[in-house]
Amino acid sequence: MKKRTFSAMDLSLLCHQMELVFKSGVSPLEGIPVLADDISNPEIKKSMVSVSEKMISGMSMHQAFSEEGSFPDYMLHMIRLGELTGMLDTVMENLSVYYEKESDLRKDIKNAVTYPVILAVLMLGVIGLIILKVIPMFGEIVENLGGQMPAEAKALFNFTVSLERIFLWFIVIAIPVIIAIIIYVKTPKGSFVFDRLKVRNPITGLLYRKILAYRIGQGLSMTTQSGMNIIDGFNAVKGLIENKYVTEQLEEASIKITSGESFSDIIRYIDIFPELFSRMIKTAERSGKLEGIMQKLSRVYGKEVEVSLKNFSKTIEPALIAILSVVLGIVLLSVLLPLIGMMSSIG
């Protein structure tokens, strides 16, 4: 049976509802069944009804959510922490804020990528239409009229006509290559290589590392606020990252932390976070103010990611438009110059 998954905003709303229930003084055993009856989203309602039944049968809240199987590991860790400390209302409030910010981050990433992708597809479509339809048709017109063209115009026109063969060969080669890449990425090794490329590539690697710093910083801020020590907090937070390469690095860091090495030195050693992130953590270790530093880092990198995504979108759009303008300019010149040459010969 396929596991249900919920969006970050769905989880934020659910945690907010649980926060209100717990802050009103209602116990989880009484509040969860009432909340399950009141939820309108059918998928979440089904999961919460299952959780409610498990809690009534004698399970703890953490056990019930874990057994249901639809909720992320990080949320489960925090629920367990809330039960142990008696701070379920505070934990739910923090989770609600966390998933709301996560939802906003995903929207920012989607908005930054969507328009350039659409523009690139339209650009390729227009260029393909001109090369495959307009240029061959104009070539027939030139041949039928038998007009004379200047040597430069004729060379440019012949080059543009040859683009039809180049474009077709490009499609023939590109489609199998793309399919092969997709199949490779779905393999464990290919997925690991692709995840590593996300972190290490020179174009978007820094932005991706800022997103990692934001997510880890926000997660550690929550765990330290809730009273969790740095080792347990880091072990809980590392489950937030879906990148296999980063997960492997964080697992290695977790082992080193458990063995007693400095958290800031390990963060710098694995080299997947911006330099400021490791330096601020070192400062926090010295001052003993890890909670406050994590909150500041979360805010700083949240803002940095937002600005970087906007700058990325602003940079890529004019670049694509410039490329389209140059290609269309060449194509139009290849059509206009022969036409001008023919009109001059007729004159």
Q: What is the pLDDT of residues 115-132, one digit of tens each?
A: 777 877 877 777 777 766
Is the same domain home to 153 and 107? yes
- Of residues 135 and 280, the one with the higher pLDDT is 280
Handedness of CA 136, 175, 114, 204 (dihedral sign): negative
The DSSP-derived string for 180-230 is HHHHHHTSHHHHHHHHHHHHH-TTTHHHHHHHHHHHHHHHHHHHHHTT--H
Q: Which helix (H) or strand (E) holds 288?
A: none
CB burial class (10 A; 0-12, 13-18, 19+) of residue 3?
A: exposed
pLDDT at 314: 73
Is the same domain home to 145 and 194? yes
With 60 as the cut, is the pLDDT of residue 308 above it? yes
Is the same domain home to 166 and 315? yes
Single out the residue of 161, 172, 208, 215 nearest to residue 309, CA to CA.
Answer: 208
* Residue keyed to tokens 């995903």: 106
Report the interhelical angle of 42-56 vs 8-23 (nearest 10°).
Answer: 40
Is the same domain home to 33 and 106? no
Assign residue 288 the CATH number of its domain: 1.20.81.30
1 in any annotated domain: no
| DSSP for residue 242 | -
With 50 as the cut, is the pLDDT of residue 1 above it? no
With 70 as the cut, is the pLDDT of residue 74 above it? yes
Which of 40-49, 53-62, 73-82, 283-292 has the least mean pLDDT? Answer: 283-292
Give the end of a domain, one of 71, 87, 110: 71
- State which residues form the domain around 132: 101-347
204 in any annotated domain: yes
Mean pLDDT of the chain: 78
Q: Tens digit of pLDDT for each residue in 217-268? A: 777 777 777 677 777 777 777 766 778 888 888 888 888 877 777 777 887 7
CB 26 within 8 A of CB 40: no
Could you give the dihedral angle defined by the CA atoms of residues 116, 119, 124 and 125, in that order, rounded to the nearest 10 degrees?
150
Q: What is the mean pLDDT of residues 296-313?
A: 78
Q: pTM higher than 0.75, yes or no?
A: no
Single out the residue of 138, 144, 137, 149 nearest to residue 346, CA to CA.
Answer: 149
**Tell me, what amino acid is at 274?**
P
Is the same domain home to 57 and 124? no
145 in any annotated domain: yes
318 in any annotated domain: yes
93 in any annotated domain: no
Is the same domain home to 183 and 322? yes
pLDDT at 110: 80
Is the same domain home to 218 and 340? yes
Q: What percent of the chain has pLDDT over 90?
A: 1
223 in any annotated domain: yes
| DSSP for residue 1 | -
pLDDT at 2: 44
Q: Terminal CA-to-CA distance of the chain, rounded, Å? A: 78
Q: What is the mean pLDDT of residues 174-203?
A: 87
pLDDT at 293: 78
**Tell me, what amino acid is at 80?**
R
With 70 as the cut, is the pLDDT of residue 146 above it? no
Angle, alpha carbons 236-242-246 (nearest 5°)? 85
Is the same domain home to 210 and 285? yes
* Residue keyed to tokens 């056990």: 63
Is the same domain home to 166 and 255? yes
Is the same domain home to 65 and 192? no
Residue 331 tokens read as 């194509």
Q: Tens digit of pLDDT for each residue in 279-291? A: 888 887 777 777 7
Task: Output Rg (C-alpha) for the chain, integer angstroms.
Answer: 29
With 60 as the cut, is the pLDDT of residue 147 above it? no
CB 163 within 8 A of CB 334: no
121 in any annotated domain: yes
Is the same domain home to 59 and 110? no
88 in any annotated domain: no
Is the same domain home to 34 and 118? no
The DSSP-derived string for 246-265 is HHHHHHHHHHHHHTT--HHH
Please enumerate in sequence order all residues whose Cβ is within 8 A of that of 9, keeping only pairs 6 or more positions apart, or say none. 99, 100, 103
The domain tally of the chain equals 2
